[in-house]
Amino acid sequence: MRKPENCEHHHFHARVDVNRIIDIGKFVADIKIECSECKTPFEFIGVPAGHSYAGPRTSIDFCQLSAPIQPFAGKLAARSVFEAYDPAVRPTDA
Ligand SMILES: [Zn+2]
């Protein structure tokens, strides 16, 4: 296994667990990504930590994304937003 400080993170391993919350009839996808060479976990950027069925959240270390999902409802976005960002500024620095 390569040491993280010597790795350029070229290859990845992703794990997705889809959970059905029977009590409330909701679905959640839990996603983790790591470098397959050095095993460094990747953080999800721009998503707040916590838990919600209304929108995506991350674990407290930002390394697991929990995204509420549902079977495709056949709707298309009426409007999309694309933003540029400064990679030197993390969302948690604001
Ligand atoms: Zn790596």
CB-neighbour burial class of residue 57 (10 A; exposed 0-12, middle 13-18, buried 19+): buried
| 36 pLDDT higher than 60 | yes
Q: What are phi and psi of 10, to 5 degrees?
A: -95, -20
Q: In sequence order, which ranges of 1-94 are alpha helices (DSSP H)?
A: none
Please say whether the beta carbons of 67 and 51 come within 8 A: no
Q: In the 8-state DSSP scheme, what is residue 45? A: P
Q: Please, which pLDDT band fits residue 93 given cuts at 50, 70 and 90?
A: low
Q: Compute the distance from residue 41 Cα to the ligand 1 centre, in Å.
A: 9
Q: How many structural domains comprise the chain? A: 1
Q: Compute the distance from residue 10 Cα to the ligand 1 centre, in Å.
A: 7
Q: Compute the distance from residue 4 Cα to the ligand 1 centre, in Å.
A: 5
Q: What is the pLDDT of residue 43?
A: 98
Whole-prediction pTM = 0.79
Q: Compute the distance from residue 38 Cα to the ligand 1 centre, in Å.
A: 4
Q: Compute the distance from residue 33 Cα to the ligand 1 centre, in Å.
A: 11
| Enclosing domain of residue 34 | 4-93
